């Protein structure tokens, strides 16, 4: 089947098809017959099946995905899946309507999970690409001292402090990058940078 028409408004439910009332057992038997004919490639039978059940399918999809446009897409996907797999329907194991609605429900849940996963990926990307907040001590030194005075004061630091401060302050690397370059834990890198900058601040009289 090339395509399905949009979900129609006001389509009668399985138990009340157009043309008058019909017992539930009779409606179920009719749908089962339409499904079996569909499994043999009868497009007219499948179109009739669609008309008789699509309103219920859309209502179910809408309750799950809570978005009319997405509910319509889910229904179209579900019916295309049903058309391709109609030979798997077994009337001895349940009604045609139940079989169809099971597909609709599964597709609806998959759509919700996909949307939640996309939201989680977007949030993770935002966290990973958010600008790194600079240490307040770094900002204070950067704003208060010129580079030459700092370089002179750096000579008074320990070797490990000087290495870390030069990478972070003069090289512009983040704490994580400094840790990677020095092959030390991030916490160790932060401590060396902070201790070094505090010594620089004290040496230069920043904040006093």
Q: Where are the domains of the chain?
A: 24-129, 136-204
Name the one residue in this structure whose structure tokens are 């409606």. 27
> What per-residue confidence (pLDDT) applies to 35?
94
Q: Give the number of other Cβ atoms within 10 Å of residue 9's Cβ.
A: 7
CATH code of domain 136-204: 1.10.10.10
CA atoms of 84 and 1, how far apart (whole Å)? 9
> What per-residue confidence (pLDDT) applies to 159?
81
CA atoms of 191 and 99, how far apart (whole Å)? 63
Name the one residue in this structure whose structure tokens are 């996909």. 114
Q: Do domains 24-129 and 136-204 have the same CATH topology?
A: no
Give pTM, 2 decimals. Answer: 0.49
- Name residues of the chain where pLDDT drops below 50: 8-22, 208
- Answer yes or no: are the C-beta atoms of 43 and 72 closer than 8 Å: no
Q: What is the DSSP letter of 158?
A: -
CA atoms of 106 and 194, how far apart (whole Å)? 54
- Answer yes or no: are the C-beta atoms of 167 and 184 closer than 8 Å: no
> What per-residue confidence (pLDDT) applies to 18?
38
> What per-residue confidence (pLDDT) applies to 55?
95
> What per-residue confidence (pLDDT) applies to 116?
84
Statement: 24-129 belongs to CATH 1.10.1740.10:
yes
DSSP 1-51: ----PPPPTT---TTS-TTS---HHHHHHHHHHHHHHHHTT-HHHHHHHHH
> What per-residue confidence (pLDDT) applies to 42?
95
CA atoms of 85 and 16, how far apart (whole Å)? 26
């Amino acid at each position: 089947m090339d395509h399905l028409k949009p979900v129609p408004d006001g389509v009668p439910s399985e138990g009340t098809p157009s043309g008058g009332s019909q017992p539930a057992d009779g409606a179920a038997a009719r749908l089962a017959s339409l499904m079996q004919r569909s499994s043999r490639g009868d497009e007219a039978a499948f179109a009739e099946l669609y008309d008789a059940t699509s309103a219920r399918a859309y209502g179910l999809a809408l309750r799950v995905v809570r978005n009319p446009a997405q509910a319509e897409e889910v229904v179209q996907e579900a019916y295309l899946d049903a058309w391709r797999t109609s030979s798997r329907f077994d009337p001895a194991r349940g009604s045609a309507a139940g079989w169809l609605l099971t597909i609709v429900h599964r597709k609806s849940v998959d759509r919700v999970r996909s949307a939640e996963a996309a939201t989680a990926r977007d949030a993770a990307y935002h966290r990973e690409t958010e600008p790194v907040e600079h240490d307040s001590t770094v900002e204070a030194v950067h704003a208060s001292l010129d580079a030459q005075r700092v370089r002179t004061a750096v000579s008074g630091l320990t070797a490990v402090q000087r290495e870390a401060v030069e990478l972070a302050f003069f090289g512009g690397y983040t704490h994580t990058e400094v840790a990677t370059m020095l092959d030390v834990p991030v916490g160790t890198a932060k401590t060396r940078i902070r201790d070094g900058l505090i010594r620089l601040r004290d040496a230069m009289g920043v904040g006093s």
